[in-house]
Amino acid sequence: MASIWLRPEGRQEQRLQELINRLAEEHGTVKFAPHLTVCGIPDDLAVLDAAADYVRHCGLLPLRVAKSTVTGAVITPFRAVFIEIENSPELREFRERLRDIVSAPPLIPPHISLLYTLDRNSQAPRPDFDAERLKAIAVGCAEAIDDAYFTLGRPVVNSAGGGEQDVRSWNVIRSL
């Protein structure tokens, strides 16, 4: 499985990475690169040339997106503590167009994850992260993030070579 990501730029990427790393250390969970998932790529990576052509010519990047809130909830191990991003018309257009190009499934709400509830060693979901604990972590994250807007660019294709839940196997296989 692969997906298209937009990465935060400059100082914002660095600060989000530091926060993600700190949370992973404190809670015994996995580290990952900060990103907003544009869409998944179901089967055929041959569609990436068309996706790259769209990215080069769309004129929408980098996107300046607004932070709505920081949320902690038991949704999936990959949406546990995250920054909700306002789905602006530009962001929606960019994501929907790429979704159409790669024939991706329906999009989930735009967000930038800060904590996955996957065990650092086994990569298995951790049942000890209940709604109350995640909300408390989210409050601390909200206090640590003073940015009201994020600049997203640097579109990449991320591959989950060893499987979606094996975050250690994730790697960027192409820039768009």
Q: Which domains, and CATH codes, for the chain?
A: 2-175 (3.90.1140.10)
Residue-level pLDDT at 163: 62
Q: How far apart are CA 34 and CA 167, in angstroms?
A: 13
pTM for the full model?
0.94
Residue-level pLDDT at 161: 72
Give the pLDDT confidence of 95-130 residue by residue, as tens digits. Answer: 999 999 999 999 999 999 999 999 999 999 999 999
Structure confidence at residue 72 as a pLDDT band (50, 70, 90)? very high
Residue-level pLDDT at 162: 62
Judged against a pLDDT cut of 90, whether residue 91 lies above it is answered with: yes
Residue-level pLDDT at 160: 81
Contact 117, 129 (CB under 8 A): yes
Residue-level pLDDT at 82: 98
* Percent of the chain scoring above 90 in pLDDT: 89
Could you tell me if residue 163 is left (phi over 0), alpha (psi between -120 and 50 degrees) or otherwise beta? left
Helices (H), the chain: 10-27, 48-58, 89-102, 131-144
Give the pLDDT confidence of 27-49 residue by residue, as tens digits. Answer: 999 999 999 999 999 877 789 99
Q: How far apart are CA 83 and CA 9, in angstroms?
A: 16
Strands 170-175 and 111-115: unpaired
What are the backbone angles phi and psi of residue 110, rounded to the nearest 5°?
-70, 135
Q: How far apart are CA 100 and CA 4, in angstroms?
A: 13
